[in-house]
Amino acid sequence: MTAVSDPQSVAALAAEAVDNRVNLDFETEGMTLNMGPQHPATHGTLRIIARLDGEQVISAEPMCGYMHRGYEKLTEVRTYPQINALINRIDWLGSFANEVPFILAAEKLMDVEAPPRAQWIRTILFEMSRIANISLFLGDFGLQLGGMTAGFYAFRDREWVLNQIESATGGRFHPNFDRIGGLKDDLPKGWIDSSHTAMDKLLAFCDELEDLLVGNEIFQARTRGIGVIPAETALSYGLSGANLRASGVDWDLRRDNCPPGLVYDKADWKVWTHPDGDCFARTWVRLQETREAAKIVKQLLDTIPSGPVMAKVPRIIKVPEGEAYVATENPLGEMGYYVVSKGDLVPFRVKIRSASFNNISIVPWVARGAYVPDLISILGSLYFILGDIDR
């Protein structure tokens, strides 16, 4: 399972070299490079303090907290439906996906299950938010590596998905559409057909981007063999999602531990992995994932059952006593909510396990020995959303 490849051993050697150099007496005077809190490459307010020796990074320490909004405390003073509106904003690019694990955790505690149609629509919207999220990553990553064009394409084609999400939920960004026991509304008329069209456009976008970006020589030069993360390290840091699969670990919560309430087993799709564990692998896995997501959506659109979209739940939601942890495979990785309820309108404690927090905690490890421009590739390819790190 461990990805052993040339780039990886090169990176290990480089790290060793850095260590040795630090130990030498005639150490060149280091330089401290401060990136952020506002820096285009961190797309958000992450601050990185890097110690440099020439062009090489000796240590890089992310300083987060510039976007810390106190979700875990706020959930203790909000009712379940209010929390649902709040947690949309954690991973703001794939908002709908944030709601799902929380709703599923509450449903588990209450022992309700959404009707099949709601489960289908949930899964479809979940995958659409994945596309909305990752397509922006692909464009943005290109942009960070100097290829502006990819960013424009991403912003253009992402609108197709956002249109679909908006026409179904009423919100481009923060839909707040999921409810305990089902969904707020049924789909609008003609939505299924227009979604098919949108997904076709997205598949075309993926092909286009593959030519434009992933096949690009400069792009490959800047990502191949950079920021290699072996599988074992990735696991112990708790990396998840495409970052983990790019290190060769074949694990996807959607397939392997799909919580009841999502219907991934009703579609035929594939989990992509890549053995290299470098920046290129992460991008490539994400690109394939976008394609798979579009395929899942298309298949589920065809098999969507009829029926109600809301189970019978009390109007005022009190969740019985208990604890539950539900995690789903969000666009950024595993996102889970550990909900402790005491039978009140408000949860007693909610621990939010967000993917980016773990994903980015590996930066000090992986940036050691890298060069300054590689730092951008590494940060970009690890792909984080500030709200998801800082919560």
The span of 13-21, 285-293, 304-312, 367-375 binding other proteins (CB under 8 A) equals 304-312
Give min distance, CB of 315 to other proteins, in A. Answer: 7
- Distance between CA atoms of residues 113 and 104, nearest Å: 9
The span of 105-113, 121-129, 272-280, 282-290 binding other proteins (CB under 8 A) equals 105-113
> Restricting to residues 45-64, which ones interact with other proteins according to CB under 8 A?
45, 64
- Contact present, 387 and 89 (Cβ < 8 Å): yes
Among 78, 245, 282, 291, binds other proteins (CB under 8 A): 78
| Positive or negative torsion for Cα 247, 259, 182, 268 | positive
Instruction: Give whichever of 280 and 384 is closer to other proteins, judged by the CB atom.
Output: 384
Instruction: Give whichever of 44 and 369 is closer to other proteins, judged by the CB atom.
Output: 44
Q: E strand or H helix at 65, and its extent?
A: none
For β-strands 47-53 and 178-179, DSSP reports them as: unpaired
> Restricting to residues 157-176, which ones interact with other proteins according to CB under 8 A?
159, 172-174
299 touches other proteins by CB under 8 A: no
| Positive or negative torsion for Cα 227, 233, 235, 237 | negative
Among 12, 13, 77, 204, binds other proteins (CB under 8 A): 77
Q: Give how many residues touch other proteins by CB under 8 A.
A: 92
27 touches other proteins by CB under 8 A: no
Instruction: Give whichever of 181 and 369 is closer to other proteins, judged by the CB atom.
Output: 181
Q: E strand or H helix at 339, and its extent?
A: strand 333-341
208 touches other proteins by CB under 8 A: no
249 touches other proteins by CB under 8 A: yes
Q: Among residues 342, 346, 390, 387, which one has the least CA distance to residue 97?
A: 387
213 touches other proteins by CB under 8 A: no
Q: Is the peptide bond before 37 cis (omega within 30 degrees of 0)?
A: yes
- Contact present, 176 and 84 (Cβ < 8 Å): yes
237 touches other proteins by CB under 8 A: yes
